[in-house]
């Protein structure tokens, strides 16, 4: 189920997209950024990394979407209340929400955000 998580100014959306792209370019591999059908849309996949340099070390935790549900809207795939999914899925959704909150708070050019304390993103 695709759900709105936050509505924020468009400038904040662009800043988050830019931060994730920059992080990807620095080969940190935490984020994968995929452009949407329109220029200001993007889907970000959040990975947990094992510290190895190979792509096989990446484990997707989840994704969030910028401007897909509307201008200035960050949306996520939330768990379906009628789906008896694994407990880890709920932890992953919570981790994605925490990542978004950190990006909105601290995702400015030149800042380095540590996501190591989030259990779902750890090795």
Q: Summarize the confidence of residues 64-78 as an average pLDDT.
A: 93
**To which residue do tokens 């201008």 refer?**
71
Task: Quickly state the pLDDT bin for 7 (edges 50, 70, 90).
Answer: very high
Measured CA to CA, the distance from residue 77 to residue 40 in angstroms comes to 20
For residue range 90-117, what is the model confidence (pLDDT) as tens digits?
Answer: 678 888 999 999 999 999 988 988 887 7
Q: State pTM to two decimals.
A: 0.83
Adjacent-strand bridge partners of 58? 49
Chain CA centroid to CA 87, Å: 19
């Amino acid at each position: 189920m695709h759900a709105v998580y936050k509505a924020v100014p468009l400038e904040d959306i662009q800043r988050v997209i830019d931060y994730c792209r920059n992080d990807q370019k620095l080969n940190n591999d935490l984020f994968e950024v995929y452009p949407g059908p329109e220029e200001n849309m993007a889907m970000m996949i959040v990975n947990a990394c094992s510290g190895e340099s190979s792509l096989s070390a990446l484990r997707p935790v989840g994704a969030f979407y910028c401007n897909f549900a509307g201008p200035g809207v960050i949306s996520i795939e939330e768990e379906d209340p009628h789906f008896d999914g694994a407990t880890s899925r709920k932890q992953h959704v919570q981790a994605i929400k925490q990542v978004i909150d950190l990006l909105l708070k601290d995702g400015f050019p030149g800042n380095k955000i540590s996501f190591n304390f989030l259990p779902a993103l750890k090795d």
